[in-house]
Amino acid sequence: MSTVFALANQKGGVGKTTSSVNLAASLAATRKRVLLVDIDPQGNATSGSGVDKHETEYTVYDVLVDDVPIEQAIVGTPEGSGFDLLAANGDLTAAEVQLLDMDRREYRLREALHRVRARYDYILVDCPPSLNMLTVNALTAANSVIVPIQCEYYALEGLTALLDTIDKISKVLNPSLHIGGLLRTMYDPRNSLSNDVSNQLISHFGDKVYRTIIPRNVRLAEAPSHGAPVISYDAKSRGAISYLALAGEILRREQALNQSKQAQQAKVD
């Protein structure tokens, strides 16, 4: 059964979509089976993966609102990306309102993903930059949350609200939900503010902060305009190397977590 990560932060411009696309490609490069779910009406993860968001027959909107089987909506990405995609476009804006009147509205994505979870090792969900019903669906479907945080002023603004939301959803809708890690993005070591924010995060959250840091990188910023993850666009760039390192760190954390669970189960037995 796959692990589902939601990449969430209600603050825009923190590298959330960049992280979703490039982490998906980096995990796929380690020969893991990966599905990227774009649940942001902007559809940037879709176009950044090299898929035309206006040309796909079905999107996540059709899955959530019209009960189209998710198997029919999943598409492949161009050669070199290596992961599958559930696309999104502007149609999804209407879903935010339509979901409010639907039965089991918080569980629509979770129930759809359940049909395909056995096919994948990892499912990544790129959330919109707001705490709306789409984000609630993503958090209800996820095992773990990755929180990208820009190492700049106001970085911690709104983080408390997000953590409160995660806590409430874990208590009411999804008991297995937890914080997978906080990911420092757009990091510039020459900037004292970046260092200050990084130190604040480590001080407050300790080992919840990923050791891997995503730097400011021109090639990383250019890759979406070419419809490709940075690992395909320029595999030797600092951005590509950083996301490969993040994938490795996540795999090691998952392995350690599974070993801990097995050890606890062995004590019970």
Q: Is 26 a residue whose pLDDT tops 90? A: yes
In angstroms, rounded to a whole number, what is the distance separating the alpha carbons of residues 11 and 151? 13
Q: For the segment 77-129, what is each residue's pLDDT rounded down to a tens digit?
A: 998 789 999 999 999 999 988 998 999 999 999 999 999 999 999 999 999 99
Residues 45-53, mean pLDDT to the nearest whole number:
96
Helical residues (DSSP H) of 49-150, grouped into ranges = 60-65, 70-73, 92-98, 108-114, 133-141
What pLDDT band is residue 234 in, cutting at 50, 70 and 90?
very high
In angstroms, rounded to a whole number, what is the distance separating the alpha carbons of residues 122 and 28? 9
Q: For the segment 130-162, what is each residue's pLDDT rounded down to a tens digit?
A: 889 999 999 999 999 999 998 887 777 778 888
Q: State both tokens at 56.
A: 């796909």
Domain boundaries, the chain: 3-268
Out of 3.50.50.60, 3.30.70.20, 3.90.245.10, 3.40.50.300, select the CATH number for domain 3-268.
3.40.50.300
pLDDT on residue 88 = 97
Measuring CA to CA, which residue among 18, 29, 19 is closest to residue 232?
29
Q: For the segment 180-215, what is each residue's pLDDT rounded down to a tens digit?
A: 999 999 998 888 888 888 998 999 899 999 999 999
Q: State both tokens at 259.
A: 């070993």
pLDDT on residue 190 = 85
Q: State both tokens at 143.
A: 């095992």
